[in-house]
Amino acid sequence: MPLPKPWPSAGRPLAIANRQRHKSPAPTMARKFLKSWRYVPRDEVLEADLAARVGIHPLAAAALIWAGVRDPDQARAYMLGSLDTLPPASEFRGMTEAVELVLSATADGRPILVHGDYDADGICSAAVLIHALQRLGAKVIYYLPHRFRDGYGVSERAVRAAIANGINLILTSDCGISAHDEISLAKSRGCSVIVLDHHEPGPTLPEADVVVAPKVPDWSYECREMPASALALRFVQALTQMLGDAPVRAEDLVDLAAVGIIADVAPMTGENRVIARAGLDRLADTSWPGLRALLDVAALRPPVRAYDVAFRLAPRLNAVGRLSDANHALELLLSADEDEARRLALHLDGENRERQRIQEQIYDDAISMLGEQPDLLSLPAIVLSSPEWHAGVIGIVAAKLAEEFDRPVVLFGSPPNASPGDKPGELVGELRGSGRSVAAVDLMEAVRKCGEHLVEYGGHSKAVGLCIQSGRVDAFRDALSEALEATEPQTKKKDEPEAIKVKLEEVDETLVADLARLEPFGPGNPEPIFAVEQLQVVEVRAVGKDQKHLKLYLSDGQRTVEAIGFGMAGKAGKPREGNEPREGQKLDVCFVPAVDDYWGRPQVQLRLVGWRPSGK
């Protein structure tokens, strides 16, 4: 139904959420190339016992033991955990009160504003809430902020628009924990506010009616690292538990929640892992037209793995928020029409391709700048700027450069509505910046010492967002360098990667299938890697588009297997890191076992993580 008043022209319109629900293995998670690793101590007696009692491959049992799972009952729960095993959602502080407010508004016929965020977690969590509230018969309005017009967090424009249109209940998701002014404005006009947010709170909480936030300091809930999509699903569970016979089930929405959890790079432990696992299982046969269309344009087929979500689906959802309007992604996830979903999915795919093009151009520009100004590489941090760089994409490039040069990187670019100056390439006004750090450096602490050069900033030790006047970049670079040089680097030693040492004859299709039962992998629950020593290189080839992938044929004298290193070949097929394998050479290889059925004949394949010459 139409809104009673138009929304402010300076902002984006809120969209009426009146739609009803429509009745292979991927490469391993991206890892840095390993030149060295250490072996996991093995207990083959315990492995054999666990394998026999649970019914899995002995090396899958070794992987479970490495993950800290040693008991058969614990192993079964780890592999078969379902939503039914989660503790009652009512254990969340404030969850019962939040549900009661929503049910009251629904019963009275009062509209509810769901305010999400422009990244994949904010989009997916909003979709979960909107679908659930629609099923209850609630009148739902939704709003996603614009990255540049609104900025991060609860939008003052959205609050004022809600008040102007008689909305008196706002439900935030993936934002709100720091929105003191906006929530105070809403409260002063008689609007109730519920905050569902997983971000770190400040010294005081906003004056919302209810705050459901796992990171509130005096709340001892076990799963504190829970993204907004998981919180939203737990809210739906609380609704169903309170109502008993509810027209909505968390199981119907778990695939949407899983996409948000994985996209947010949340720890894949505890409740997050249970929800993600259940969601990945359902994603393979999802009932949502939007997800089906997204899977189709991403050329994904079941089984859908965490890698697929992280590197194939999430970038498409995030791209529109980076470049244009995140509402297109939310509309996709809400769509009940197959044709509309296909059109929106293709739009997201096109935006992602454009994001990739922009990202590559910014990266090439940055490398050229460093080549032209090599003195910049003598500084403890890299700080670069260009009015040509899209501020919605620079964070991805900063992360790539920080890893490549092993130091903090801050890049400044221009928002789409920036004003050009009188000279070519000159920009008037403010630049938006993104910074990424490395393990040994607290970038946020260093940036705080440079605050006089910035309009605003925020973030944490490893990632910061900044705003600066265009003429202050050089002064900021000098100040940041001085701050970092005066800072004692964190001396935490990087853990050497671990691998499970095996024989080539032990790696078979059964192992691959049983390792799949241990998924999803991610932060806090890394994918196990294996290693075989003394394999002879039979053949070396560069394959794929632009010859970027390295294919090896390796033999232990009894058996020859194919090994693939995605992205490990550079120009002329030479590996980007490590010495080039040579035919006849003996290697120790580190890998994740997989099955390749590209030609219709399944065969075991080693997906390379690293290698080193044998005997070294």
Please indicate, yes or no, whether residues 342 and 381 belong to a single structural domain of this protein.
Answer: no
CATH at residue 598: 2.40.50.460
pLDDT of residue 236: 97
Give a yes or no: residue 362 inside a domain: no
110 & 243 share domain: yes
* CA pair distance 320, 331, nearest whole angstrom: 12
Q: How far apart are CA 14 and CA 165, in angstroms?
A: 11
Domain count, the chain: 3
Whether pLDDT at 422 is above 70: no
Q: What is the pLDDT of residue 31?
A: 54
pLDDT in tens, 474-503: 999 999 999 999 876 554 445 678 999 999
Lowest mean pLDDT among 182-196, 281-295, 382-396, 449-463: 449-463
Residue 271: inside a domain: yes
Per-residue model confidence (pLDDT) at position 20: 33
Helix runs in 324-469, H state only: 327-334, 338-372, 394-405, 443-448
Give the per-residue pLDDT at 513: 93
> pLDDT over 90 for what percent of the chain?
70
Antiparallel, parallel or unpaired: β 210-212 and 192-196: parallel
Q: What is the CATH number of the domain that holds 130?
A: 3.90.1640.30
Condensed to tens digits (0 to 9), the pLDDT of residues 423-439 reads 333 345 789 999 999 88
Judge if 402 and 264 occupy the same domain: no
Instruction: Give the model's pLDDT for residue 579.
Output: 58
Same domain? For 316 and 186 the reply is: yes
Q: Residue 171 belongs to what H/E stretch?
A: strand 169-173
Which residue, chain included where needed, has tokens 């016992």? 49
Is the pLDDT confidence value at 2 over 50? no
CA distance 314 to 210: 30
Domain containing 474 — which CATH number?
A: 3.10.310.30
The model's confidence at residue 220, banded by pLDDT at 50, 70 and 90, is: low
- 49 phi and psi angles, rounded to 5 deg: -65, -45
350-357 contacts: CB < 8 A, separation 24 or more? 351/316, 351/319, 351/320, 351/323, 351/324, 352/315, 352/316, 352/319, 354/319, 354/323, 355/315, 355/319, 355/322, 355/323, 355/393
CA distance 500 to 512: 15
Please give the mean pLDDT across all residues of the chain: 87
Tens digit of each residue's pLDDT (9 = 90 or more) over 565-599: 988 885 434 444 445 788 999 999 999 999 887 67
Is 40 inside a domain boundary? no
Q: Is residue 26 assigned to a domain? A: no
Q: pLDDT tens, 30-57? A: 456 778 899 999 999 999 999 999 999 9
472 and 396 part of one domain: yes
**205 and 337 housed in the same domain:** yes
Same structural domain, 320 and 384: no
Based on the domain organization, do 191 and 270 belong to the same domain? yes
Q: What is the per-residue pLDDT for 491?
A: 47
Domain end, chosen from 301, 317, 349, is at 349
Which range among 29-33, 65-69, 527-531 shows the weakest confidence by mean pLDDT?
A: 29-33
Q: Choose the final residue of a domain: 333, 349, 365.
A: 349
* Residue 364, in any domain of the structure: no
Pick from 334, 349, 364: which residue ends a domain? 349
User: Tokens 């932060």 map to which residue?
Assistant: 523
Does residue 343 share a domain with residue 383? no
The predicted structure's pLDDT at residue 299: 94
Host domain of residue 156: 84-349
Work out the average pLDDT over 517-528: 90
Please give the pLDDT value at position 148: 85
Answer yes or no: is pLDDT of 346 > 50.
Answer: yes
Q: What is the per-residue pLDDT across 102-158, written as a single tens digit (0 to 9) for each?
A: 999 999 999 999 999 999 999 999 999 999 999 999 999 999 999 888 888 899 999
Q: Is 559 helix (H, G, I), strand (E, B) or coil?
A: coil
pLDDT number for residue 121: 96
Mark whether 477 and 336 lie in a shared domain.
no
Question: How confident is residue 462, by pLDDT bands cut at 50, 70 and 90?
Answer: confident
Question: 282 in a domain, yes or no?
Answer: yes
Confidence band, pLDDT 50/70/90 cuts, at residue 203? confident
Q: What local confidence, expressed as pLDDT, does residue 81 receive?
A: 76
The predicted pLDDT at position 310 comes to 94
Q: Are residues 340 and 378 in the same domain?
A: no
Distance CA 513, CA 222 (A): 31
> Mean per-residue pLDDT for 350-364?
96
pTM of this prediction? 0.85
Please tell me the chain's helix, strand, coil percentages from 3-state DSSP, rounded to the nearest 5: 40, 20, 40
Does some domain include residue 291? yes
Token pair recorded at residue 331 = 């509309």
| Same-domain status, 145 and 224 | yes
Q: What is the pLDDT of residue 13?
A: 35
Q: What's the whole-number mean pLDDT along residues 495-514? A: 92
Classify residue 582 as exposed, middle or buried by CB count within 10 Å of its CB (0-12, 13-18, 19+).
Answer: exposed
Q: How confident is the model at residue 165 (pLDDT cuts 50, 70, 90)?
A: very high
Q: Is residue 520 included in any domain, yes or no?
A: no
User: What pLDDT sits at residue 27?
Assistant: 42
